Amino acid sequence: MHRLLLMSVVGATVLCTVGAQNDNSTGELALPNPKDCANRIRHAQFGTHNYFFSWEYDLTKDLKVDWITGRNICRRHCMDLVSLETREENEFVKQRMINGLIRFFWTSGRKCNFEGCDREDLQPPLVNGWFWAGSGVRLGSRNNKVTGDWSKTGGAGDAQPDNREFEVEGKHDEACIAMLNNFYADGAVWHDIACYHKKWFVCEDSDVLMDFAKKTSPRFAHRI
């Protein structure tokens, strides 16, 4: 049975689950470990947040994981999968991937396709149901298309997001956002991907999780 969570989407609260129908990303969300938070690896800083790039760390440089596992690794360290909320942040992370010769990585991007996502303003999910799970910020839409750095092509030659795996096989909803590096000769851009696929990942500081860790373990607060 899925664990219920409260999540904010554009100032409103919706009830959601960690997992989703037609998706293998089910699992419990990890709580931060204050000691791991204090000792987290910080590869770079952008704005006020630190970032961890899994391919740049010896212990994870060859590790590829599904979306929920990537989130939980980040969350244990007071971080979450990266939320690419501005063009500048997107370009910063994209360049890091290009320089690292990495083919793909998970972001926190998620489609609201589970229980509690039947609000009228989130329909259709492929257009209006996308949000950054790491921050709760919703992606916008224009002219009946979701906005963002989406690829103009994919495995079927269609612009992203296209939910191709579900349309072809009828099994797994492509409910998570990964950045792919010229996978379809399309540059470094976003694709909707079924969440069970395994990829490298990027973690970004989570203000919410850092505050939680500081309150639950004051002895580490000055180091987080």
Domain 39-223 CATH assignment equals 3.10.100.10: yes
pLDDT digits (tens, 9 = 90+) for 122-145: 999 999 999 999 999 999 999 999
Token pair, residue 49, equals 């947040």
Instruction: Report the pLDDT value the prediction gives residue 224, as an integer from 0 to 100.
Output: 86
Token pair, residue 16, equals 């959601």
Please name every residue paired with 180 in a beta bridge, in sequence order, or none if there are none. Answer: 104, 189
Token pair, residue 142, equals 């224009």
> Is the dihedral angle over the CA atoms 84, 90, 95, 97 positive or is it negative?
positive
DSSP state of 150: B
pLDDT digits (tens, 9 = 90+) for 155-183: 999 999 999 999 988 889 999 999 999 99
Q: Sort strands 104-111 and 200-205 into parallel, antiparallel or unpaired.
A: parallel
Token pair, residue 33, equals 């470990």
- Strand residues in the chain grouped as ranges (E): 4-9, 12-17, 44-46, 49-53, 79-81, 104-111, 130-132, 141-142, 145-146, 176-181, 188-193, 200-205
pLDDT digits (tens, 9 = 90+) for 67-118: 999 999 999 999 999 999 999 999 999 999 999 999 999 999 999 998 889 9
Question: What is the C-alpha to C-alpha distance for residues 22 and 218, in angstroms, rounded to an integer?
Answer: 41
Question: With bands split at pLDDT 50, 70 and 90, how would you rate the model's confidence at 8?
Answer: very low
Question: With bands split at pLDDT 50, 70 and 90, how would you rate the model's confidence at 3?
Answer: very low
Residue type for 27, please?
A: G
Spell 39-48 as b/e; 16+ CB within 10 A means b: ebbeeeebee
pLDDT at 22 over 60: no
Question: What is the C-alpha to C-alpha distance for residues 211 and 218, in angstroms, rounded to an integer?
Answer: 10
Verify cis geometry, omega within 30 degrees of 0, for the bond prior to 124: yes
Please give the average per-residue pLDDT across 196-202, as a whole number.
Answer: 98
- Return the domain boundaries, the chain: 39-223
Global pTM reads 0.89
